[in-house]
Structure 1
Amino acid sequence: MRFEAISWERLADAVADRVDGAEPADGSDWHKVGVDGAPAAPGGEFADRVAAALRLRGRSVIVVATGGFLRPASLRFEHGKQDPDAYYSGWYDTGALWREVFGPLEPGGSGRVLPDLWDPVTDRATRSPAVPLPPGGVLVVHGPFLLGHWFPFDLKVHLRLSAGALARRTNQPWTLPAFARYEDEVGPADVADVVVRADDPRRPAWTGFTA
């Protein structure tokens, strides 16, 4: 896999141009972009950059973090607070993401997206109202393990950290086996439309678009 140096600004522009020049693959009125990466990667910041670039092109955008769709603590911590297998497959409420985020953007959907569901600090529902995304709008979702659930993304961006960089930069080393499992079972670099090497967050590099 060959990488070329690029700035985050140019990368966000390239992603926005790609979205702006295509039709949603599922025949709906909305594009869906996934920014996949470990918490140690700048996924949230990059998702916001893509959103800003799209808005400059006249697109309405909703950015959703999967961190707002955690399961209650009683379910996340059923096997302890540092269980990598639970973190990999049991922390994020993928059913709620399908129902509240992707479902409304299916063909004929309402376009009303729930921006978050659960506050992990209070361990209570956020009770946030659904946000309308008009036709032609773009959903940008960011978080870890995004590419293993068949979410209907039109464009999938994977922020790649080498094992060494991930080990150095994570503040939760107990999660490392979960990311190793993700690499083995999903191979995110193989299924993404573009891979960004983010070992040094000041000097990203990318593969270009795979198709």
Structure 2
Amino acid sequence: MAVDGPAAAAPDRLADAVAGLLPALGRPSAVVPAGGFYRPASLRLERGRTDPDARYTDWLDAGALTREVLAPVGPGGTGEYLPVLWDVARDRAARAPRRPAPEQGVLLVPGALLQGLGLSFDVVVHLRMSPAARRRLTDPDQAWQLPAFDRYDEEVDPSALADAVVLADHPDRPALLLGGRFA
């Protein structure tokens, strides 16, 4: 399950909350943040540290996420996934051991800009934020990324592709959107 949304919408926090609730429902879970599958800085930042186009196209290694996580836990996979590939802070391989996927469980992948890449998720939850809310809630040091999210909305239309849309303009009051209406 993908939990897709900008950092200001806190996809990691929602994925962790859902993962915390699932065991009580008889579904073990694991969270694998997409940020652990960012490319090395030499590739990710090749066009500079604040290039929104590079943020949109060059940061996530979708092939590695598929190869190391989605394919192994999918049908016919080995059942063992890599929880993180790249340590972004140290800019080197994380060298994490593979983990067994939870049997009959749910694997949640929180991150940004996850749709439109051909990633094979069973379910996608998109945390939709208006451009004004993104500007208001994005850390000023990260504001250079905002055009990447505007482009994502325009080119991919993640709300239309998602299985569920959560309106996240007010993170303390999220609203589930079902069939174009609030739930």
Short-chain TM bin? over 0.9
Structure 1 residue 186 corresponds to structure 2 residue 174: no
Q: Is the 8 A contact 2:28 2:104 kept in 1?
A: yes
Match of 2:133 in 1: 165
Match of 2:173 in 1: 203
Amino acid at match of 1:182: Y
Q: Secondary structure at the match of 1:147?
A: coil
Q: Secondary structure at the match of 1:206?
A: strand
Q: Is the 8 A contact 1:147 1:186 kept in 2?
A: yes
Structure 1 unaligned segments of length 5 or more: list them: 1-32
Q: Matches of residues 136-155 of structure 1 in structure 2 within 5 Å? A: 136-155=104-123
Equivalent residue in structure 2 for 1:109, among 61, 72, 77 = 77
Q: Is the 8 A contact 1:60 1:133 kept in 2?
A: no
- In structure 2, distance between residues paired with 1:140 and 1:86: 25
Structure 2 unaligned segments of length 5 or more: list them: none
Under a length normalisation based on structure 2, what TM-score does the superposition of the two structures give?
Answer: 0.93
Q: Secondary structure at the match of 1:148?
A: coil
Q: Is the 8 A contact 1:40 1:170 kept in 2?
A: yes
- For residue 209 of structure 1, report the CA deviation from its aligned partner: 6.5
Match of 2:92 in 1: 124
Please report the RMSD computed on the Cα atoms of aligned residues, expressed in angstroms.
Answer: 1.3
- In structure 2, distance between residues paired with 1:56 and 1:209: 28
Match of 1:177 in 2: 147
- In structure 2, distance between residues paired with 1:123 and 1:192: 32
Q: Matches of residues 28-107 of structure 1 in structure 2 within 5 Å? A: 33-107=1-75
Amino acid at match of 1:174: W
- In structure 1, distance between residues paired with 2:66 and 2:121: 12
- In structure 2, distance between residues paired with 1:134 and 1:56: 14
- For residue 208 of structure 1, report the CA deviation from its aligned partner: 2.8
Q: Is the 8 A contact 2:70 2:121 kept in 1?
A: no
- In structure 2, distance between residues paired with 1:68 and 1:107: 23
- For residue 66 of structure 1, report the CA deviation from its aligned partner: 0.8
- In structure 1, distance between residues paired with 2:97 and 2:70: 16
Divergent runs of 4+, >6 A: none
Under a length normalisation based on structure 1, what TM-score does the superposition of the two structures give?
Answer: 0.81
Report the more deviating stretch, 146-155 or 177-186.
146-155
